[in-house]
Amino acid sequence: MFYVNSASCKMPQMDPFSADIMKFFKRKQFRQCSTDRDLLISEFDADLRQYRIKIDDNAAEQLLKKFGNATLKCKYQVIGRKKKSSFPDKDFSLSSPQPISQSFLVPKTIDFILTQCHAVNGKAQLKLLQKDAFLFVQDRLKKPEDPPPDLESKPNVIILGIDSTSRMNLRRSMPKVHKFLQGSGWFEMQGYNKVGENALPNLLALLTGNAEEKAQLNGQLRRGGFIDKLKYIWQLFKKNGYMTAFGEDGGKISTFNNRNPGFKKQPVDYYLRNFVVALESILKTRREFGNAFCLGRRLGFKYLFDFARQFMQRFQNAAPVFGIFRSSSFTHQDFLGATALDQVLLDSLLLYEKLGFFNSSIVMLLSNHGYRNGVTRQRSKSGYLEERLPVMFMHVPSWFRKRYPQYVASLKVNQNRLSSSFDLYMTLHHLLQLNATSMADFRPKLQASQCKLCQSLFFQLPLDRNCSHAGIREKWCSCEPTETVTNQILIKKVAREVVRHMNEHLRYRNLTKLCQSYTLKKVLYMDRRLALTDDSLEDEQLHTYQITFDTNPSSAHFEATVQWNTEKETLAMNADELSRLESCEKYSKCTKDPMIKKYCICKPVK
């Protein structure tokens, strides 16, 4: 059985519930961040088109009982972006406290606030009763009198992201969400293959048409301002009259800020970044699944999906919207984290459906890649495919299906064709020119710069497509079937050469004073990739192997894709493409460079 089955690509279908994975699988329980009642409630006044903060008198009365004649006094501070900071994405501003009245009308200039409610007796503060935070997607349309948008020519575009989630792990961990995604209008791209190692290159491919991996290798992404200079698809949507938003819930592990400085200028109309940074800095956090899970009284994930809800709701029937909302807080570090959030995510999707968002929007629910390290990669051969085959669902509303039956027919076919985030980039371009009849209608400058053969998913992808056609390098390609190598002499020869190349690479990068040299500990397995095309040179002399092995020191786990010349017994490999199959943090603290972290075991400090 195959997800994709053609002469050029045979992507094997894997069992999500195979024994080698299920022996590590255990459902986690969701724990609330807080069980106390809200003292402050945020509401949107539809007549004024403005937010209002109300004090819940009943909740206040219950909390004040133990303080005699005490009264409640609440204040707020505005959370903002510190524009003059060297790195505004890593900072935030906080205003002086201002009082909150019984029914406080929030000025339209305020996006985020931090609140504190105290029991007071006269001027004396007796106790802090509740600390909280609120976000507001304010209506700042310049011309609200304009007629409502024609959604059939400018549909809303919403991208919902779940970090590090494979097609298989979604089925295992989130069966309720998976069942929802089987509903009318949803299409799963079963041949969707990642194009880069971590979140950043995969998201850049989707947003810019270029994974910028050379920039990452050369350290350019760590320079302030580099990220801002790229051309993002949201800029084009903005030029076409869309309101734009971008939000992530993991402050320390967000895509553009994980070991990188992020944006100098706010990139979109509504940007969640500084709010999350402030909350992780100010509020008491609870960590679960390896990351900040609760931000104060509320789930970080809930803030993100409430941001998405408000954004879609605020401009419903008023302006088209383009929004990206990515969650990494519960899936980034732990492949079991998703099990605890199945119902929570489903509740958000059901709410969006109830509010009519899916009727007016093209929605993508996707991940950047599968789980990259830990037990699924170290203990299961299927983990290799899990990493490379992230979840990717697309929803098109009923009116779209009726008006563009030819595009829907293509989506159905493309579900079992090889695709990538470069194709999604072209699909987003297509949504801005829905009258296009073929890729020839797209101007050359709109083409994904790193994949000239990539195309919109609303056009049928070629049956004979291979990974190079989809902008997927051989390292990440899931198209070629493999066979397990059993020749122990050959395995040891290849493995020793791989380790020798790793040590040579440390010398080449001048890292021998910082990082320890490697010795081979053991080979877990080695597979040979079977070429699908009739290439005699590849078959007779050059063999491509995928080798998983442990090294000393520290029993580091690695995976490498290499070429072995059987005649000369020589090896070709790119050490920068090594995969580290466990977290680098414990043994690689001596460097912040994400490329070096992968293959550096730091020397002990003397």
Nearest to 419 by CA among 348, 487, 353, 479: 479
The pLDDT value given to residue 148:
64
Residues 387-443 pLDDT 10s? 999 999 999 999 999 999 999 999 999 999 999 999 999 999 999 999 999 999 999
198, 254 contact by CB (below 8 A): no
Residues 203-222 pLDDT 10s? 999 999 999 988 887 888 88
The pLDDT value given to residue 336:
86
What DSSP character marks residue 310? H
Domain boundaries in the chain?
40-135, 157-476, 482-599
331-356: average pLDDT: 91
Q: What is the mean pLDDT of the chain?
A: 91
Residues 124-174 pLDDT 10s? 888 999 999 999 999 988 665 556 667 777 999 999 999 989 999 999 999
CATH match for 482-599 among 1.10.357, 3.30.70, 3.10.450, 3.40.720: 3.10.450
DSSP for 529-555, please give it.
Answer: EPPSS--HHHHHTEEEEEEEEEEETTT
* 43-47, 380-384, 478-482, 592-596: range with lowest mean pLDDT: 380-384
The pLDDT value given to residue 378:
65
Residue 539 vs residues 407, 522, 529: alpha-carbon distances, Å: 40, 27, 10
Give yes or no for residue 379 having a pLDDT over 70: no
Give yes or no for residue 516 having a pLDDT over 90: yes
CATH superfamily of 157-476: Alkaline Phosphatase, subunit A (3.40.720.10)
Helices and strands (H and E) in the chain: how many: 21, 26
The pLDDT value given to residue 534:
59
Residues 293-328 pLDDT 10s? 899 999 999 999 999 999 999 999 889 999 999 998
Q: Give percent of the chain above pLDDT 70.
A: 97
Gap between the Cα atoms of 425 and 139, Å rounded: 28
Give yes or no for residue 538 having a pLDDT over 80: no
427, 457 contact by CB (below 8 A): yes
553-561: average pLDDT: 89
DSSP for 184-246, please give it.
Answer: TTEEE-TTB---SSSHHHHHHHHHHS---HHHHHTTGGGSTTHHHHS--HHHHHHHTT-EEEE
SS3 78: strand
Give yes or no for residue 575 having a pLDDT over 50: yes
pLDDT band for 251, please (50, 70, 90 cuts): confident
pLDDT band for 37, please (50, 70, 90 cuts): very high
SS3 574: coil
Sort 391 into a burial class: Cβ within 10 Å, 0-12 / 13-18 / 19+.
buried
Predicted structure pTM score: 0.93
Give yes or no for residue 584 having a pLDDT over 90: no
Q: Which residues contact 316 (CB under 8 A, 6 or more apart)?
A: 355, 356, 357, 360
Residues 89-128 pLDDT 10s? 999 999 999 999 889 999 999 999 999 999 998 878 889 9
524-533: average pLDDT: 87
The pLDDT value given to residue 149:
66
Q: Provide the β-strand partners of residue 364.
A: 159, 394
Q: Which residues contact 175 (CB under 8 A, 6 or more apart)?
A: 342
Q: Regarding predicted confidence, which is higher, 604 or 531?
A: 604
The pLDDT value given to residue 536:
41
Q: Which residues contact 446 (CB under 8 A, 6 or more apart)?
A: 426, 429
Angle at 135 between CA 120 and CA 342, to 5 degrees: 110
Give yes or no for residue 67 having a pLDDT over 50: yes
Gap between the Cα atoms of 434 and 155, Å rounded: 10
The pLDDT value given to residue 537:
45
270, 243 contact by CB (below 8 A): yes
Q: Provide the β-strand partners of residue 105.
A: 52
Residues 447-457 pLDDT 10s? 999 999 999 99
Residues 174-184 pLDDT 10s? 999 999 999 99
